[in-house]
Amino acid sequence: MTARRVGAVDCGTNSIRLLVADVDDEGLLTDVVRRTEVVRLGQGIDRTGVIAPEAMERTLAVSREYAATCREHGVEDARFVATSASRDARNADEFVCGVVQAFGDLDVAPEVVPGDEEARLSFTGATGDLRRLGVPGPYLVVDLGGGSTELVRGTDDVEAGRSVDIGCVRLHERHLASDPPTDDEVVAARADVALALHEAEEVVDLSGLGAVVGLAGSITTVTAHVLGLAAYDRDAVHLARVGLDAHREASRELLGMTRDERGALPYMHPGRVDVIGAGALVWHELLGRVALRSPGAAVVTSEHDILDGIALSVAAR
């Protein structure tokens, strides 16, 4: 059995992540390097429509590090996927040129993927382990990012998906300025989320689900809070099955905390301290809808997500 060594970069609104992995002929993926850096590429983009110069430089600096790591580990082929912030910015071309220069001889150009492609990659990366473990579908994969949230339904393949503009950075900047958020701010944010989820439900059916699969930093952090971890433990979080009500209670707790209180939590990434309340609110509201439409659905957190889907797509081409 042969394996290809591939590189995958997922550049979102809040963080940029790298996966160097070996993928065998059966599509099984073995990590070589997995990194995450919070660079806040989407800083202020909802207000200005452009990537801020300091955010651009932070992200390109990490891109150069990731390119060096790919060369060091003998990556044969790589793919750089850029999501919401790059899709929305008027100066996205400047960012693309910077990434091309960073990767140089590796011949990697960032792809600003549309929401449906983003959803397909997330679904592919998130559901492989669940099928192997016998967790029944249909699955609702929820990729809660900084600028947008993708909801994708399917079992063996994608049946329906929708990307909506409610992410932890975008929602925080729009509504949750106070520390902790005021009741009025939370009401406004919930109304924003309700409109977006109503839009998503026009396409993605939330009834009859076997499992909700939560992805990305906001949901993994809520899961760490539910589990009461002494430090962030990726292995403990991955495939954790926790009750829906426990997830919603943990989300309410995180939303109501001050930033100092969140920052003192041993599993909290410093780059998520200010925005985790907004992410937790989105997760809370979505799970409330799932509770009404699919009361028997399991809630599973996955550390395998769009990044793994990108790596698999590289190996397949």
The pLDDT profile of the chain, 317 residues, written as one tens digit per residue, is 678 999 999 998 888 999 999 998 877 888 999 999 989 888 888 788 899 999 999 999 999 999 999 999 999 999 999 876 676 788 888 998 999 999 988 889 888 887 778 778 888 889 988 887 888 889 999 989 888 898 999 998 889 999 898 999 899 999 999 999 999 999 999 999 999 999 999 999 999 999 999 998 899 999 999 999 999 999 999 999 999 999 999 999 999 999 999 999 999 999 899 999 999 999 999 999 999 999 999 999 999 888 999 999 998 87
Where does 132-301 sit in CATH, by number? 3.30.420.150
| CB distance 75 to 5 below 8 Å | yes
Helix ranges, the chain (H): 45-48, 53-72, 84-88, 92-103, 115-133, 168-175, 183-201, 217-227, 234-237, 244-256, 259-263, 276-293, 306-316
List, by residue range, all CATH 3.30.420.40 domains of the chain.
Answer: 3-112
List, by residue range, all CATH 3.30.420.150 domains of the chain.
Answer: 132-301
Torsion of CA 243, 204, 193, 234, to 10 degrees: 40
Q: How many CB atoms lie within 10 A of CB 147?
A: 26
Q: Which residue has the tokens 């403990």?
A: 236
| CB distance 112 to 10 below 8 Å | no
- Beta bridge partners, 153, equal 140, 160
Within 8 A by CB and 6+ apart from 38, the residues are 14, 15, 269, 270, 271, 272
Q: Which CATH architecture has domain 3-112?
A: 2-Layer Sandwich (3.30)
Torsion of CA 235, 81, 102, 173, to 10 degrees: -80
